[in-house]
Chain A
Amino acid sequence: KAGVTQTPRYLIKTRGQQVTLSCSPISGHRSVSWYQQTPGQGLQFLFEYFSETQRNKGNFPGRFSGRQFSNSRSEMNVSTLELGDSALYLCASSTQGPPNEKLFFGSGTQLSVL
């Protein structure tokens, strides 16, 4: 069974640009969660989608958005990039979603904003 796939692996953008990250969950998983990981801050929860609906959202500005498609693949978009958005973005999938399920993580997309 293929694991969680995130593309691209690395991204370099400049301030003001926008970016779209992709996450393909494990087959059969309907929940996809997104996290931002920065040194010293750990993993900060962005949002969680289940069957194309956003079920939960973290405390991030509206520049961060996401969506989920009927095949459970998910994308997140960050508009008007800021230097502080440089981070590793991780997605995780599971069958029913948090809080009591094992999450399967992708290797992440490393975003650098210059």
Chain B
Amino acid sequence: AQSVTQPDIHITVSEGASLELRCNYSYGATPYLFWYVQSPGQGLQLLLKYFSGDTLVQGIKGFEAEFKRSQSSFNLRKPSVHWSDAAEYFCAVGASSGDKLTFGTGTRLAVRP
């Protein structure tokens, strides 16, 4: 069965600073990988996804993520954080042979003015 680990529960960055949120997954074959964002009081919104091909994927709101098979990682990055990026971020993995999506426990991002 697949699993996802987001090692950072809370992260605080200053506005304008760069951001990297970590995600490690466990799955034997090539997984389907996603990053979702949840603003307070809202449901989740897809930021980006990786299925195959180019290991650097671009998403909405200026986010990108890089798939590294050797490290079983799919870290989310943004070069310059805006105050509106304060939210909770979830990494998720789907098995190519399976039929469900498994989410990590989330990383809550705070942005310092």
Contact = CB atoms under 8 A, between A and B. Distances in A.
Interface of A: 4, 33, 35, 40-43, 45, 48, 55-56, 58, 90, 92, 97-100, 102-103, 105-108
Given A40-B105, A42-B105, A99-B32, A107 B46 contact: no
Given A35-B103, A42-B6, A42-B104, 5 more contacts: A40-B105, A92-B43, A92-B44, A98-B100, A100-B32
22 contacts: A33-B101, A40-B105, A41-B105, A42-B6, A42-B103, A42-B105, A43-B90, A43-B103, A55-B99, A98-B99, A98-B100, A98-B101, A99-B96, A99-B98, A99-B100, A99-B101, A100-B32, A102-B46, A102-B49, A103-B36, A105-B44, A108-B43
A42 B107 CA distance: 9
Residue in B32, B43, B100, B105 with the greatest tally of chain A CB atoms within 10 Å:
B43
Interface string B77-99: 00000000000001000111011
A81 to B, nearest CB: 23
Contact of B43 (A4, A41, A55, A97): A4
Contacts of A58: 100
Q: Is the interface of A mostly helix, strand, loop or mixed?
A: loop
Contact of B42 (A41, A98, A107): A107
A105 B94 contact: no
Contacts of A107: 41-43
A34 to B, nearest CB: 11
Given A99-B32, A99-B94, A100-B32, A45 B100 contact: yes
Given A103-B46, A106-B43, A42 B90 contact: yes
Contact of B101 (A4, A103, A108): A103
